[in-house]
Amino acid sequence: MSCPRCGAEMVERPVGATQVSQCPEGHGVFLDRAELGTLVEAETDWHRNAAQQTAPLPRITPDMTAPPTAAKRARAWVETLFG
């Protein structure tokens, strides 16, 4: 495959689990539909695993009691010294 802009022969480059064609002159990276899909799935997986892990919210049941009220939170650490 040759670059549509400059006509240079494209270089195959591994990216993740797929191969992409890249112009050696820096005019871009070219992919087919399957390669794009593989890269999108890898990006989605990365974001899913990079997010802060939080516990799922509990279901509300009749036997639950209200949580205790929180104390007034200090605006700064210094306030905790003199409060």
Q: What is the mean pLDDT of residues 16-27?
A: 88
Q: pLDDT tens digits, residue range 27-73?
A: 988 888 888 888 888 888 777 766 666 666 677 778 878 777 877 77
| Other beta carbons within 10 Å of 35 | 18
pLDDT band at 80 (very low <50, low <70, confident <90, very high): low
CA 56/CA 58 separation, integer angstroms: 6
Q: pLDDT tens digits, residue range 7-18?
A: 999 999 888 788
For the chain, the domains span: 1-49
Question: What would the 3-class secondary structure string for 20-66 be?
Answer: EEECCCCCCEECCHHHHHHHHHHHHHHHHHHCCCCCCCCCCCCCCCC
Q: Which amino acid does the sequence have at 69?
A: T
Q: Which amino acid does the sequence have at 50?
A: A
